Amino acid sequence: MPTLASLVRHPTLKLSVLTGADELDVAVRWAQTSELIDPVPYLEGGELILTTALKLDVEDAEAMRRYMRRLADAGVVGVGFGVGVNVETVPEALLAAAREARVPLLEVPRTTPFIAISKVVSAAIAADQYRSLTRGFEAQRDLTRAALGAEGPATVVSRLAAHVRGWAALYDTAGEVLAVSPAGAAARAEALKGDVARLRRRPAPASAVVAGVRAEEPADAEPAGPVDAGGGGAVAEGTAAEGAAAEGPPADGAASDGAAGAVPEAAAEAARGRAGDAARRAGHAPDRPARDGAGPAEDRVELQSLGSGRRCCGVLAVGTHGKLAPAERYAVHAAVSLLTLVTERSSAFSAAEQRLGTAVLRLLLAGQPDHARSVAGPLYGGLLDAPVRLLVAEAAAPVAPVGEGEPEPLPEALGELADALDAAATGSGEAFLAVPDAGRLVVLATDGGAVAEAAVQHAGRVEAAHPGAVGQARGSGAGQGTLPLVAGVSAPAGPAVVTVAYKQAEQALSVARRRGRVLVEHEDVTAGSVVDLLADDAVQAFADGTLRALREHDERGRGDLVASLRAWLSRHGQWDAAAADLGVHRHTLRYRMRRVEEILGRSLDDPDTRMELWLALKA
> Tens digits of per-residue pLDDT, 77-119?
999 999 988 888 999 999 999 999 999 999 999 999 999 999 9
Provide mean pLDDT across the span 514-539: 71
Least Cα distance to 489 among 395, 417, 383, 391 occurs for 391
pLDDT per position as a tens digit, 207-240: 888 875 554 333 333 333 332 333 333 434 444 4
Tell me how far apart the alpha carbons of residues 405 and 463 are, in angstroms, rounded to a whole number: 35
Tell me how far apart the alpha carbons of residues 439 and 412 are, in angstroms, rounded to a whole number: 11
Domain ranges of the chain: 4-112, 147-272+288-343, 347-532, 537-618
Residues in contact with 492: Cβ distance below 8 Å, sequence separation at least 6, in sequence order = 387, 388, 389, 447
Provide mean pLDDT across the span 525-537: 58
**H/E segment holding residue 31:** strand 30-33
Tell me how far apart the alpha carbons of residues 31 and 49 are, in angstroms, rounded to a whole number: 6
| 537-618 classified as CATH 1.10.10.2840 | yes
pLDDT per position as a tens digit, 418-476: 888 888 887 787 888 888 887 889 999 999 899 999 999 999 999 988 888 887 765 54
> At 344, is the pLDDT very low, low, confident or very high (cuts 50, 70, 90)?
low
Segment of 201-205, 212-216, 292-296 carrying the highest mean pLDDT: 201-205
pLDDT per position as a tens digit, 586-599: 999 999 999 999 99
How many Cα atoms are found within 13 Å in the side-chain-facing hemisphere of 253?
22
**CATH code of domain 347-532:** 3.30.70
Tell me how far apart the alpha carbons of residues 255 and 329 are, in angstroms, rounded to a whole number: 11
CATH architecture of 4-112: 3-Layer(aba) Sandwich (3.40)
- The per-residue DSSP string of 275-342 comes to HHHHHHHTTSSPPPPP--TT--SEEEEEEEE--SSBS---EEEEEESSPPPHHHHHHHHHHHHHHHHH
**Helical H runs in 429-467?**
450-465
More confident residue, 528 or 467: 467
